[in-house]
Structure 1
Amino acid sequence: VYALHNAPNLEFGRFHTTPGPIMAAADTFTINLTGKGGHGARPHECIDPVVAACAIVQSLQTIVSRNLDPKQKLVISTTQIHTGTTDNVIPEEVYINGTVRTFDKEVQAMAVRRMQAIVDGHAASFDLKAELDFEFGYPPTVNDAAKTDFAAEVAAEVAGEAGVETAFPPVMGAEDFSYMLEARPGAYLMLGQGDGAGVHHPLYNFNDEIAPIGASFFARLVERAQPIAGA
């Protein structure tokens, strides 16, 4: 199985791939904190989940800086914190949400283990209730070495030898094509579309001029992989 993804800010018409991991696993975490709300002028009568949330978010960053082998890759990003409705009330609950990106299952397991320990530890130290929900999402996108070599050969027939990079640095984004690569050997490639806003950005604009290049790649891929007998 093979796939192409358009790639803003990479050279127009140039293919990029690599054997092994090319995109990361993408998991989601949610942390719900429950304390005791009350008046902001009487914090001693409350159990403040906001202070606990700030401590937890900061502590999560130590997993990368102090628990991870520096040669490995891991991203833990807290992307949402929701709580409170006004300036003079300490809320009872805080909702924290974020993403974890990994290439390695052992690193992934370590991250989950440390996140749970941090959440439990802060819950005890702040005397509140805390629940971590970790949702495993897309697995890493891992290219088969032989299929990657084959795809690169085909890409070179379309774009020339200089138009193919075969040592593309893995990125921490994720891709549902990873499920197909778990089921069948294959390769995932990027196709540069030139300068412009990145994907998922509101100003992103697909460069239609790369479509014939991508179509030519797939057509040639079929011709090479499944040649017509006697042709």
Structure 2
Amino acid sequence: MFKIRDLEVNYGYVNVIKGINLDIKEGQIVSILGANGAGKTTTLKSISGLVPIAGGSIEFQGEKINSLSPDKIVSKGIVHCPEGRKIFPQLTVEENLKIGAYLRKDKEKIKEDFHMVYEYFPRLKERNRQLAGTLSGGEQQMLAIGRGLMAAPKLFIMDEPSLGLAPIVVKDIFEIIKEINKRGVTILLVEQNAFQTVKISDYIYILETGNISLAGTAEEIGKNESIKKSYLGG
């Protein structure tokens, strides 16, 4: 479904992504783990067309998307839920969700997807007229995910969805990610919460200073002693 080959990304003269390869099969949850500064967010931004690539290729459903603009990439079905939520604080919850569907013309399906988002996140329905900037951190993350779902993703890219949230909210977010996947949405996840990530992922890549140092199934990664010490608290 999706593959990266020999991807390189530079910031100025600094080579931050150094020729990585990555594969995602349809229906999987694939995750990238790594320390701060490893290049995880940069990798996701390069997929979404938010940063230019210096080399290699990115393919989605057999088509190279390297040179496409971000809006064209979204129209192909790749949707990015960014780190830090990036909601529109001066707009209501409902307006934020409508923006997620701005490229779509299928009005009846959009209505269905509103119901789906409110089914996942009842608190958003309760607050649909409330300004997004007045929501709690957990509610804002729910809104960011809901807005992404309104774009009808085939591949849903999620960057640190649990960052800064209370443990009980984190648990809810990971349950929702699993439910979204069960509906047929393929997911590429970047997370600091390695324990929860290993529990829900099919395949995991470990990124270190712009290189993939290890890759394997969640079971293989979970049993790796060096990974357990570095990311899973032993």
Shorter-chain TM-score category? under 0.3
TM norm structure 2: 0.24
TM-score, structure 1 normalization: 0.24
Name which structure has the greater RCO, CA cutoff 8 Å, separation 6+: 1
| Higher Rg | 1
